Structure 1
Amino acid sequence: MEETLLTSSAAGVYVICPTPFEGDGRLDMASTDRMVEAYLEAGATGLTILGIMGEAPKLAADESQAFVRQVMKAVAGRVPVIVGVSAAGFAAMSALSVKAIDAGAAGVMIAPPSMLRTDDQIVSYYADAVEAIGTDVPFVIQDYPLTTNVVMTPKVIMRIIEQNPSCVMLKHEDWPGLDKITTLRRASDKGEVRRVSILCGNGGLFLPFEMERGADGAMTGYAYPEMLVGVVNLIKQGRRKEAHDLFDRHLPLVRYETQPGVGLAVRKYVLKKRGIIAHDTLRKPGPKLSPETISEIDWLMQRIERSE
């Protein structure tokens, strides 16, 4: 199993997968298989499941485990899979981590709970989380203060990295956060902190600049993942103008998808329209798209596909 585990050299695009549901809210395993194939065909170097955009809190424990098994079966060892295991308590986190790694996952992702306030509380939380999941399980710090309300400074992130050798990646979703990437990369370049992979979220809203600041790739779920792959590859090839031109063609829909509250509904609608999933069902509570919103999304998709 060792060669399949996540390492600090991870790079590229780890697509954040939504959890497909049938019209009645049951897990849609056929769409799950189709979604995995579509993301791999788009050039994904990894997948991340049961994240915030995966509606993980709306799943029962047995459903989470069943979804992990289905994704791992569909992936069949072709790319690494990261499983979000954030939970209110360490017992649930530990149980899902064990099941995920046993199923073949490469690592787990942990977001801090919203009650953490001080730097010491944040650092202590991650130490306790590592104790719960095991020191041999590679983990990703999810830094998403817009959702968690937990602000992690670069110094706090560096403390977590240094105190926990099993920390191999930062999922960077701070906003504004470009200077945070620069600070962390300068520190690792100077040998002040161990270098870990940095993959960026926020729907890819700042992806070209994040790459130019030293990020290793993206971990987000924009409904045209081939754009994310293209931008990451073009930046790595030094083709800056082409990377930004490609990104700019998609930016109106990226922005539309990044709206708080409604973003996942928009993303699932686009994925359904592209034939990647069968239904755009969200589990309740969740928003429904108005006819006006659907018309706007359709128009944005037409503009992208004409320009392609």
Structure 2
Amino acid sequence: MKWHGVMPAMTTCFDERLKVDHAFMTRHAQWMLENGCTGIISLGSLGEAATLRFEEKTAILKNMAAATAGRAPVVAAISALSTDEAVELAKTAADAGCEGLMVLPPYVYKGDWREMKAHVTAVFAATPLSCMLYNNPVAYGTDFLPEQIAELAAEYGNFAAVKESSTDVRRVTAIRALLDNRLQLFVGVDDAIVEGIAAGARGWVAGLVNAFPRESVALFEHAAAGRDREAFELYRWFLPLLRMDTVPKFIQMIKQVQQEAGIGNARVRLPRLEVTGAELAAVREAVAQALKTQPAVRSLAFATA
């Protein structure tokens, strides 16, 4: 498992009956890989995992493994209410053909370090798969501190990467100061990608990549190569969209961006509802402006069927 580059936190597409649209998801994953993405992350927050039944999660992972056909890794986000369910999902992901796991703290319960360590290490130990720890204290209320991350890295050899979504790029340098290159660090919030790479991140778990993959890859590559002028120009164009990744309705907004760009639909499962009114108008205006001023680098055409 190679943790590097731009890995989409892939949205879960639903049909008119709000059933998982596996055919579309196959085309979507393949299209993002054709545009330069280095892997696919399924069942994350953006993938509406909390609304998916266990059998739906299993079917998605099997479909993604078949869709990528070994050309890039499939990473399963492991999130659950209980540790037992998280361990079961990790084992299922391994059986389905995934090459890595992105391990989240448990839903709902915000435990202390002793409890959170017990939870995530149970998942680490469940399979030999390479694991990424997902740190998002803003969304989940659980904050894995750099010293705690170092403790995990010393004890588990298959703990290989961190998705850092605290929104504080100083966390990237703090982890590197303790561990050097022992872990691969990924930026987990879209509108901090250039800053995160400057601090030492080597990858990006991205959201707006679902609609603009080649543009996302180009931004990452410019920043990683130190091409500051090119990176800033592309970043300035992209920021109104990237900022949608950091608001409570990020799922609805990113799916709406996809629909406006002709990449799928805006359907979400309850309790979420599609954006309306001023929120919908703002998304449409941002996408229209982005398409009007699109840079020379742009994604390949998407096959609708």
2:178 to 156, 180, 187: 187
Alignment match, 1:16: 9
What TM-score comes out, normalization by structure 2 length?
Answer: 0.90
- Say which SS state the counterpart of residue 215 (structure 1) adopts: coil
| Partner AA of 1:90 in structure 2 | T
Query: Deviation of residue 98 (structure 1)?
Result: 2.1
Say if 1:38 and 1:276, in contact at 8 Å, map to a contact too.
no
Alignment match, 2:86: 93
| Partner AA of 2:176 in structure 1 | R
Alignment match, 1:220: 206
Say if 1:34 and 1:276, in contact at 8 Å, map to a contact too.
no
Query: Deviation of residue 282 (structure 1)?
Result: 0.5
2:27 to 34, 39, 61: 34
1:280 to 259, 266, 270: 266
What TM-score comes out, normalization by structure 1 length?
Answer: 0.89
Deviations, residues 164-222 of structure 1 (Å, cap 9, x unaligned): 111011011012x2111011112233xxxx611111112x1110010000000200211
Alignment match, 2:184: 197
Residue 174 to residue 257, structure 1, CA distance change in 2 (3 Å): closer
1:162 to 150, 154, 157: 154
Q: In structure 2, what is the Cα distance between the partners aligned to 1:18 and 1:28?
A: 11
More moved, 87-96 vs 263-272: 87-96
Say if 2:260 and 2:287, in contact at 8 Å, map to a contact too.
no
1:268 to 234, 244, 255: 255
Residue 224 to residue 117, structure 1, CA distance change in 2 (3 Å): same
Alignment match, 2:302: none
Q: In structure 1, what is the Cα distance between the partners aligned to 2:235 and 2:221?
A: 12
| Partner AA of 2:157 in structure 1 | P
- Say which SS state the counterpart of residue 88 (structure 1) adopts: coil
| Partner AA of 1:119 in structure 2 | W
Deviations, residues 124-178 of structure 1 (Å, cap 9, x unaligned): 33233333x23x1221101000111012211011111111111011011012x21
Alignment match, 1:302: 288
Say if 1:86 and 1:111, in contact at 8 Å, map to a contact too.
yes
Q: In structure 1, what is the Cα distance between the partners aligned to 2:273 and 2:256?
A: 12
Alignment match, 1:120: 114
Q: In structure 1, what is the Cα distance between the partners aligned to 2:260 and 2:83?
A: 38
- Say which SS state the counterpart of residue 54 (structure 1) adopts: coil
- Say which SS state the counterpart of residue 52 (structure 1) adopts: coil
Say if 2:150 and 2:179, in contact at 8 Å, map to a contact too.
no
Instruction: Tell me if 1:251 matches 2:275.
Output: no
More moved, 140-149 vs 92-101: 92-101
Query: Deviation of residue 16 (structure 1)?
Result: 0.6
Note the residue ranges of structure 1 that are not aligned, 5 or more in a row. Answer: 1-5
CA RMSD of aligned residues (A): 1.7
Say if 2:267 and 2:274, in contact at 8 Å, map to a contact too.
no
Q: In structure 2, what is the Cα distance between the partners aligned to 1:257 and 1:130?
A: 28
Say if 1:14 and 1:218, in contact at 8 Å, map to a contact too.
yes
Instruction: Tell me if 1:105 matches 2:105.
Output: no
More moved, 82-91 vs 152-161: 82-91
Q: In structure 1, what is the Cα distance between the partners aligned to 2:48 and 2:151?
A: 30
| Partner AA of 2:137 in structure 1 | P
| Partner AA of 1:156 in structure 2 | Q
Residue 196 to residue 29, structure 1, CA distance change in 2 (3 Å): same
Alignment match, 2:303: none
Query: Deviation of residue 60 (structure 1)?
Result: 1.1
Q: In structure 1, what is the Cα distance between the partners aligned to 2:84 and 2:70?
A: 28
Alignment match, 2:218: 230
Instruction: Tell me if 1:171 matches 2:163.
Output: yes
Q: Percent identity?
A: 24
Note the residue ranges of structure 2 that are not aligned, 5 or more in a row. Answer: 295-305
More moved, 153-162 vs 35-44: 35-44
Alignment match, 1:3: none
Alignment match, 1:240: 228
- Say which SS state the counterpart of residue 141 (structure 1) adopts: strand
Query: Deviation of residue 270 (structure 1)?
Result: 1.5
Residue 144 to residue 267, structure 1, CA distance change in 2 (3 Å): same
Say if 1:21 and 1:281, in contact at 8 Å, map to a contact too.
yes
Q: In structure 2, what is the Cα distance between the partners aligned to 1:30 and 1:170?
A: 31
